[in-house]
Structure 1
Amino acid sequence: MSKVEVKTQKQAKGLGARHVYETLKKEILTLALEPGTPLDETTLSQRFAMSRSPIREALVRLSADGLVEMLSNRSTLVAPINLAEFPRYVEALDFLQRINTRLAARHATPDDIKKMRALAKAFDDACRANDYLAMSATNRDFHMSIANAGRNLYLARSYGQLLDEGRRILHMHFDYIRRSDTDALLNPEHYEMIDAIEKRDISLADRLAHEHTRQFHNRFMEFLRARYDDDFEFELETPISGSED
C-alpha cells in the first residue's frame, strides 16, 4: 500500500470518528441520550455503518470531555449528572467565573470586547430561534471569550471544562424557563458584564459575574422544585377508607 493510500485511510478514519463524536456529543448535550445510557460499540458500529475503531476513538474523545464513562469491564455509559454535587459545582463555577472576569477587566483589548459583543448577540439569536443546542454552545463561547481576554490559560482551561460540564444542566431547564417567561432566556447580564470589562471596572465586573452565577443556581433550583411538584400532583378520585364524614 502506498503512502498516499495509507494517508487517505487515516483521513477517512478521522472523519468517521469526528462524525460519530459530534453526533453523540449533540445527543448527550441535548439529553436525547440520557445520563446512564449504555453505549455499546457493536451497536454504534452498526448504527453508523463503520468499524469499531473510529467508534472507540470517538468514545475516548467523549470520555476526555467528561460526557461518557469508560468502565473497567470495557462497557461505556453516558456520564451521570450528579445533582448531589451541584452546590460544589456552582461554588467552583462562581470562583472561576469571577476571577476570569476580573482578569478580563484588567487585560481585555478592543478586539476582545468586539468578540464578546458578537457572541452575546449570537446567544440572543439562538434564544429567539429556540435552538437549545446553539444556546448552550453560544453561552459557553461568550463566557470563554471573557476568559480568553483575561490572558490566563490555566484559569481559562479550568473554566471551560466547568462550562462544558454545565451544558447538560442548562438543557435540563431550558424548557422550564421558556414556559415561565418567553424573554427570560435573553441575557442583558451579558452586556452589562461587557460594559464593566470595557470600562476596566474590576469590582463591578466581579459583582456582575457573581450575580450571573447566582441567577444560574436559582433558576436551576426553581426548575428542580417545579419538577418535584409536577411529579407529585394528583387527585384522589375515591375517598380513602375511614376518611368519609
Structure 2
Amino acid sequence: KSMNRAATTIDYLGQVIDLTTGTITRPTVKVRKAITMAKKQAKARTCVPRHLARLAGVLLDLQKGAQSLLGLPKLLMKETAHVVKSNRASAKSLQKAWSTSGLKRPSANKVINEAIKALKGLISARARPQPGPAYVLETDARDAGWGASIYRLSPTGRRGREIHAAALRWTPEERQLHITAREALAASYGTAFLVPRLPEVGSLTLHSDSTPTVWAWRNGSGKPTISKAARQATSYLASRGIFYQAKHIAGVDNKRA
C-alpha cells in the first residue's frame, strides 16, 4: 500500500527523476541559469555587480513574489545573505565573502549599490531622483487653519533659509473634518500654493507630524479624504517630473508651519 501511494517522480533542483523508468529530465534553461548563478554566489569570489544583476533578472522571472521591482531589493538581499551565511569558509567575514577575485571591496554595501545601479534602467525616470535643487516642505494643521513653509536644502543636507510660506483658515466644511484629514489637506494645499512659485525643483521632501499623511504620500490610504488629498499633491509633483518623498517629524520640530 505504501508503494502504491509513493511518488513516481522526484524534482531535484529542476531535474525531474522518473522512479519508474529511471529517466532524468534536464531542468529548463532558466532553472539551469539560476542554479549556476547560485553556485557562483556560493563561491563568493565571483560575487560582482553584473552577476547580481543577472541573478536579479532570473529571480524576476522565477519568483512569483518578485514580479515587480518593489520586492526586488529585499528578495535580492535575502538570497545573497542566505548564500553568504551557508558558505562556511566566508561566513566569518562578510567583507571577504563579497570581495571579487584578487580585489577587496571596502564594504558589502558598495557592491550592493553597484548592483542596484545596474538595475536602474528598469525603473522609470519618475521614480528616480532628478538633478536639480532639493526642497523641504513643512506643513501643519490646527483648529483654525493650515500653514506651510518651504526651504531649500544645501548639498550637505543642511537646512537653508525659508523661501516661501502660506497659511489659510479652514472653510466651515473643512473645519468639521477629523484632524488627520486636515493634516493631509494641509500637505496638499501647501504643495499647490508653494511649489509653483519655485523656478526649478529637482526633489521635494514633505515634513509632517502626521503619520497618516506621510503614509498616504508613500503608499496611499484607505480613508477617502486623506487618499484624495495625497493623490492630488503627488500627482501634481509627478506630472512635473519632481521626485518626492515624505518624512515624519516630531511636532516640536514643526513649529514654523
Work out whether the TM-score is over 0.5.
no
Short-chain TM bin: under 0.3
* Greater fraction helix: 1
Give the number of the structure with larger relative contact order, counting CA–CA contacts within 8 Å between residues 6 or more apart: 1
* Greater fraction strand: 2
TM-score by length of 2: 0.25
Q: Which is greater in Rg?
A: 2
